[in-house]
Structures are given as structure tokens and as C-alpha cells.
Amino acid sequence: MERNRVALITGAGRGIGRGIALELARIGFKIAGCDILYEPKNTRSGLFEVRGEAAKLGAAFLPIEGDVSNPAEHDRILSAVLAEYGRLDVLVHNAGVAPEVRTDVLQTTPESFDRVMGVNMRGPFFLTQKAVPRLLETAAGDAGVKPAIVFITSISAVVSSTARAEYCLSKAALSMAARIFADRLAESGINVYEVRPGLIQTDMTVPVREKYDALIAAGLVPQKRWGFPEDVGKAVAGLVQGYFPYSTGLILEVSGGMDIRRL
């Protein structure tokens, strides 16, 4: 159990971020969950619901209000983690948005492009820059610590969707960011990983649930089911526990076999 280690998870209030937070809580991590939605009186959904579930697992959970797309907020977010726990061991970049309206690539607007890229790629890029010194400080004070950064991308990093080009581009760019940081930080002892989910049942996929139910039934996913947030959470848990110490830059696809090339 990872009783003393601390993980900061962005977009932790719901969906995949919630799943990651609870899986890391289950193995003993202290969690700092950041989300743009911050409603202390709401214990039925969002950060404070996740805090309640983490408490049932015996884990500490610090809710942090923050917009990761705004680099001006990054120091405050990281300072809140250090003020509460005194260390940072793991950073999980999960916060992400889809286009508010799906449109053909020929009609993609600059406003939608900038919004999606800002949250999905620009924010994680600059938050990583700010977090690295904190991760190294923790490692310097504890010889047994191996810091890690995990980027949550998507199969959309490599699979085209012409009705949401900006989302695909943001995830492709985030995938390359993970590789670049893995290269740069290898000498510092910080391992960087990419987790690439497939079709995961979250609030984001509700509008297309019926469409993909039919496609899954027709064989789109070899394992013939939707993925769940806990599937992604378990993948992240395996990575940050140090089971892959010689695999920085690893891409771990959690897609039920969608990456298998089939005839």
C-alpha cells in the first residue's frame, strides 16, 4: 500500500478522473483532486462526492478548485497540494473536454478549437512544467520515491473523427507531449506514461451511447463491452506503483482490444 504517496489528479470530479482517484485511494494514495466545478454543498456528484467515497476507503482527499487551461492558476493548485500534504509524487493529467457541438471539420470554429486545445493540451503542457520541480523535491527528500506523470489521452489520438477534429488533434498533441516529457525527464528519474482509453462510459459519452451500443454489439470492440472509469483507474494504479520502472514513454491502451488490426 502507498500510504505516504500523494497524487494530483485533474478533472477528478467525475468520469475517468473519479475512477482514477478512487483506484489510487484504494491502494493507499492521498489524493488531491482538481476540477473547475467546485460545489462544497453538493455531496451527490463532483469533487465532494468523490471525497466521501475516498473516505470510505480510508483515504485522504483534498478538493481543489482550478481551471487547468489557465497557466496563471497552476502555482496556486500545486501550492494547495503541498500545503496540505507536504509532497507530490504523481501527477495525472485527466481533465478534458469535447467540442460543445460536433461539426464537420470544414466547419470547425477557431473558438471551439482554442477551447478544446486549451483544456486538453495547453493546460497539461504548462502544468507539467510547473509540477516537475515539486516532484523532484519530493524525490530528493525520499530515496525510495520514483515520481511519475500520467497523461490520459484517447484512441482519438490515432483514430480520425471528422465531426470532432479539434478533439482528435488535442489528444494527438497530448500524446506527443507525453513522449517529449518522457524523453526530457528520463535522466531526472521521473517516469512519464500515456494511458489511451477507448470507449468509456462517462458523462461525455452519453450523447453517443446508443450509437456506440450498436457498434459494440456489431464487433467494434473485441471484448464486446464499454470500458468503465475503473478500467482506466486500474491501469493508472499499475503504472504509478512502479511495476513498469524501465518503460518510461509507455503507451497503455485501455480499449478492449480496439488497437488490434483485424480483417
What does the pLDDT look like over 192-221, one tens digit per residue? 999 999 999 998 888 889 999 999 999 999
Compute the distance between CA of residue 197 and CA of residue 36 in angstroms, rounded to an integer.
Answer: 22
pTM of the model: 0.97
Grid cell for residue 121? 493540451
Give the pLDDT confidence score for residue 156 in this predicted structure.
97
The distance from CA 17 to its chain's CA centroid, rounded to whole angstroms, is 6
Average pLDDT, the chain: 96
Q: What is the pLDDT of residues 60-72, one digit of tens each?
A: 999 999 999 999 9
Span 92-100, average pLDDT = 97
Q: What is the pLDDT of residues 122-165, one digit of tens each?
A: 999 999 999 999 999 999 988 788 899 999 999 999 999 999 99
Give the pLDDT confidence score for residue 199 in this predicted structure.
97
What phi and psi, each to the nearest 5 degrees, are found at residue 6? -125, 135
Give the pLDDT confidence score for residue 148 in this predicted structure.
98
Going by pLDDT thresholds of 50, 70 and 90, the confidence category of residue 252 is very high
Give the pLDDT confidence score for residue 193 in this predicted structure.
98
Task: Evaluate if residue 3 carries a pLDDT over 90.
Answer: no
Grid cell for residue 257? 482490444
Q: Domains plus CATH for the chain?
A: 6-254 (3.40.50.720)
What is the percent of the chain where pLDDT is above 70? 100
Going by pLDDT thresholds of 50, 70 and 90, the confidence category of residue 2 is confident
Helices (H), the chain: 15-26, 47-56, 74-85, 110-117, 123-140, 165-185, 209-217, 229-240
Span 46-59, average pLDDT = 98
